Chain A
């Protein structure tokens, strides 16, 4: 297996680096011997067909489904992430594919869920509301009527925005977005892609999962292609073209890139 590390600009230590990661659910091997490097200041696109294991990989990083075996290093230090609190403490924030919002709670409550600000024993609602508003305004989201609306009353795109706002609310170092543009219209997709770029330009590491090749080519610095739970290749965007990425996704190889033998299923 060849996991081509990026070009010369990536000689610095990656912020997050996975080596030989495995994950199985019962008898199903979902991730096999996966390597991945994510650098600060770069957008790493994670691509792969449906069921390739992308969501499982990022849930492992987030501590939702901890990896079975394999090494994880954050900031060069080996870490063991066994729960969401730990990944949050490292500065990892995730926007999940299903958004993971509580419909019965309002926008502010969702953004601070599990990490509520307190004054004494009671919640500090005013500060939470203010900061939530500032963050949403920072994302130039003008479509939300009120941050005290319950999330159930929001449109798909608005919900997605809330999930993204929750991820950038904290002093995060790595933001992971699992198909963040899936429910969005043209203008809002553009907004989210701009945001993704801005996050990376501000020095954060970003992992972006997307099925849209145009989005990937537009915003990524680095492309990692998963094929049936194997990391087919991780390459710098400048070294590949659209066609090669599609081949990596669909067959796991493209020329001398990717998996060299047929994958044992």
Chain B
């Protein structure tokens, strides 16, 4: 993230100090050696997993149909993990995020099915439910100083009860609203998929290019043009290949139904990724979240409203959990008392940590949730192709989480030794 800035800038030579590709690579290498691993382990894990499952069950695993499945299966965990990044950054935890998703989904289902409200009102009600739950947790943690572990463990139970009460005796509420169902089940048209491609590539090229020009005009060193261009090209090639694959027919039975196009879930996750990353890395609010996670007392002395930041992060986490709840309702066509339960929360925490967010607070990005969520998703998608035993799946996912947590702890020790954060 950070580029080296040399002390002499007024040498009059334009772009002289800008970072070239090789310099960027060596700076990255230094970071890794210093213990700042970021998403690298998750990225390598992703590649290794694809190779393993591809080699063992390539005919089923390496198909566009399966990858589309994988994306929709992972989407709930990714969105939940995005929310958890905010509380993990503070060094806190929200164990109730899974059932928070379930509770909000229950509100959505009741609003749609029993009250007959339009989909947008139901979505607003679900998001508001998440916000209220988050506010409640945040106030208990920030104002009363109860450890978040305890508060959210209590909420883990309490929300399960609340869900049962909301859902009522029926046990399961069917969701039939076409808009809600479309979120997890439908795809963009081919044209829209390529428009999204253009937005992604141009959006990245323009925003990063603008920043480079701005820094250069102020005499600050930044990336060289060739480094910028190679990043833009890399994104265009990778995301272009992705869009191209998903633009082809992938139905297992094309005569009966045609399935093609980028799933709706992709732009949804991209929007969340961009907006939340902007909030965390480009706004004062985001900066204050890192500050509170790094040294809460220093943040307080700098005049930051530490309690407000804490409460806001719990609210954000539960609102994103509500988004995940909407995705659950869309994927399952229904909401039941087990929605958001079972391994959901553990997988989401695992996803954030696997992606590189620290359990110790102060270090993490929204992107970690995406890449970590994909790792968790691939394990859940690929393992059943190899073994039907649920026991093995639990053990493997547990092991991956342990490995990720050890990488976190070790890189922390290593960065303490090398003097990095």
Q: Which residues on A are within 8 Å of B, measured CB to CB?
A: 62, 64, 83-85, 88, 94, 96, 100-106, 109, 113-116, 118, 121-123, 126-127, 129-130, 133, 137, 142, 145-154
Contact = CB atoms under 8 A, between A and B. Distances in A.
B195 interface: no
A84 B2 contact: no
A118 B363 contact: no
A103 B295 contact: yes
Nearest to A151: B421
Given A126-B215, A148-B3, A84 B294 contact: no
Contacts of A122: 278, 282-283
B237 interface: no
Nearest to A64: B301
Interface stretch (B77-85, B108-116, B131-139, B285-293): B285-293
Given A126-B220, A150-B421, A100 B293 contact: no
Contact of B419 (A84, A127, A152): A152
Contacts of A151: 421
Contacts of B218: 126-127, 129-130
A153 B421 contact: yes
Interface of B: 2-7, 34, 214-215, 218-220, 278, 282-284, 287-288, 290-291, 293-295, 297-304, 362-363, 415-416, 418-421
B302 A84 contact: yes
24 contacts: A64-B300, A88-B303, A100-B295, A100-B301, A100-B302, A102-B298, A103-B294, A103-B362, A103-B421, A104-B293, A104-B363, A113-B287, A122-B282, A122-B283, A123-B282, A123-B287, A126-B214, A126-B218, A130-B218, A130-B220, A133-B5, A150-B421, A152-B420, A153-B419
7 shortest interchain CB distances as A-B pairs:
A114-B302, A104-B294, A102-B294, A148-B2, A104-B362, A100-B298, A104-B421
A152 B411 CA distance: 14
Contacts of A146: 2, 4-6
B259 to A, nearest CB: 40
A113 B282 contact: no
A84 B301 CA distance: 6
Nearest to A118: B284
B310 to A, nearest CB: 16
A102 B5 CA distance: 20
Given A150-B420, A153-B421, A115 B293 contact: no
Given A126-B220, A130-B220, A150-B421, A102 B283 contact: no
Given A64-B300, A123-B284, A152-B416, 16 more contacts: A64-B301, A84-B301, A102-B362, A104-B293, A105-B290, A109-B287, A114-B303, A123-B287, A137-B7, A146-B6, A148-B2, A148-B4, A148-B5, A150-B421, A152-B420, A153-B419
B287 A83 contact: no
Contacts of B6: 146
Contacts of A88: 303
B295 to A, nearest CB: 5
Nearest to B9: A133
Q: Which of A62, A109, A127, A146 has most B Cβ within 10 Å?
A: A146
